Amino acid sequence: MSMKTLDLHGDNYEGAQQRVHSFLYNNELPVKIITGRSEAMRKVVTDTVSLLGYHTHYERLINEGCLVVTEQEFIL
């Protein structure tokens, strides 16, 4: 089963924060959130996710534009 995905390309930061909150509230974790290359958008997403008590992880080490949101922190 594939993870639900939220694509934030083209969103403004305020709208993105609201969409992330709604997306996480309405879907089971884990989910993917595509932020693109914007560090500012990644920060909006990670801050919003953190406020809700969840954790973010890069989907792949070479792809920083896609975050996976989980309930637990990964420990290597």
Q: Is residue 66 part of a domain?
A: yes
Q: Does residue 24 lie within any of the structural domains? A: yes
Q: How many domains does the chain have?
A: 1
SS (H, E, C) 13-40: HHHHHHHHHHHHHHCCCCEEEECCCCHH
Q: Which domain holds residue 42?
A: 5-70
Q: Is the pLDDT of residue 63 over 80?
A: no
Predicted confidence (pLDDT) at residue 75 exceeds the cutoff of 80? no
Q: Supply the CATH number for residue 26's domain.
A: 3.30.1370.110
Say yes or no to pLDDT of 76 above 60: no
Q: Is the residue at 75 inside a domain?
A: no
pLDDT score at 22: 97
In a domain, 59, yes or no: yes
Question: Tens digit of pLDDT for each residue in 3-59?
Answer: 999 999 889 998 999 999 999 999 999 999 999 989 999 999 999 999 999 999 988
